[in-house]
Structure 1
Amino acid sequence: MLVSSATALLSLSLATPAAAQNCWNGAAVKAAKVRDLQTLLMVGALQCRSTQYDVLGHYNRFVKAHRTTISAHNDVLKTHFVRAGKARDYDRFTTAMANGHSAGAANPEFCRETAALAEQVAGLGRTEVEAIADRMFVSPKGVGRTCS
């Protein structure tokens, strides 16, 4: 009985780190939210090129102003997937975000709203961009269980 209890305890302690790696910590969730914002703006830049709304120009200013922020959050996301043993899922994750926003582009207001958002965030600092992403994307597509 003691041997089986010790074996069960050992297997539980070995399983815990793997389980913890599959959850989303606060930094990974924040990174997913910023990536979701950037992806929304990128989809707008692509989908709204033939409209009266200058999403592309505002998006380019956003990327230029926040290149280091975007890159840092992408690094956090990639690290999350590598630690979970699912490095290949990063591309699926970001593609699913883009596909979700592409579906929303059918809304007639999408280009107007996305252009206004891109213009707004291009002129903000990192903390403000992160706060907007946090408010807009409470539960980004593909983010699973969060770590306690």
Structure 2
Amino acid sequence: MKTNSKMVVCGAAALLSVSLAAPAAAQNCWNGAAVKAAKVRDMQTLLMVGALQCRSTAHDVLGHYNRFVKTHRAAISAHNDILKTHFVRAGKARDYDRFATAMANGHSAGAGNPAFCKETAALAEQVAGLSRSEVEAIADRMFTAPKGVGRTCS
């Protein structure tokens, strides 16, 4: 009888641990809103890096970037809130800053390419005057696998 009661207790404990682990595992995956937010953040980060890296070139990234941020401030903020919420729910709130920094570092590495400033200025000019949904659509096409985005939720 003791063996059976131990098995029941062990089985119940295992079941409880699985049921508690399932939500945690689900929170570590990236849902559609978080992936979309990461793509928009990736675009915004690329433009920001261009604005900083291309200041002394003939390509006006900064002016177009500032217009983009002014036009889309609410959307950029909303997407960043979604990202922060993703990291908080996953129990990794501190990883948000690492995530954003890794994106910026990735784009900074590409800034050495001579075409970087020209291409980034053209993108900044294009997206500065678009609607939120148009910006999201471009980000979705351009940034198919943003750095730091892991497994997506089904």
Report which of the two structures shows the higher radius of gyration computed on alpha carbons. Answer: 2
Moved more, 112-121 or 15-24: 15-24
Instruction: Report the RMSD for the aligned CA atoms in angstroms.
Output: 0.8
Which of 137, 143, 149 aligns to 1:143? It is 149
Q: Secondary structure in 2 aligned to 1:133?
A: helix
In the alignment, structure 1 residue 118 sits paired with structure 2 residue 124 = yes
Aligned equivalents of 1:36, 1:123: Cα separation in 2: 18
Residue 11 of structure 2 is aligned to residue 36 of structure 1: no
- Matching of residue 11 in structure 1 with residue 17 in structure 2: yes
The residue type equivalent to 1:41 in the other structure is L
Q: Which residue number in structure 1 is paired with residue 92 of structure 2?
A: 86
- Runs of 4+ aligned residues of structure 1 deviating over 3 Å after TM superposition are none
Instruction: Write the distance in 1 (CA, Å) between the matches of 2:145 and 2:100.
Output: 14
TM-score (norm 1): 0.97
1:104 aligns with 2:106: no
Work out the number of aligned pairs and report it: 148
Alpha-carbon distance in structure 2 between the residues aligned to 1:106 and 1:95: 18
Query: Structure 1: which 5+ runs fail to align?
Result: none
Q: Report the CA distance between 1:11 and its aligned residue.
A: 1.2
Among the aligned pairs, what percent are the same residue? 86
| TM-score with structure 2 setting the length | 0.93
Match of 1:27, SS state, is helix
Match of 1:119, SS state, is helix
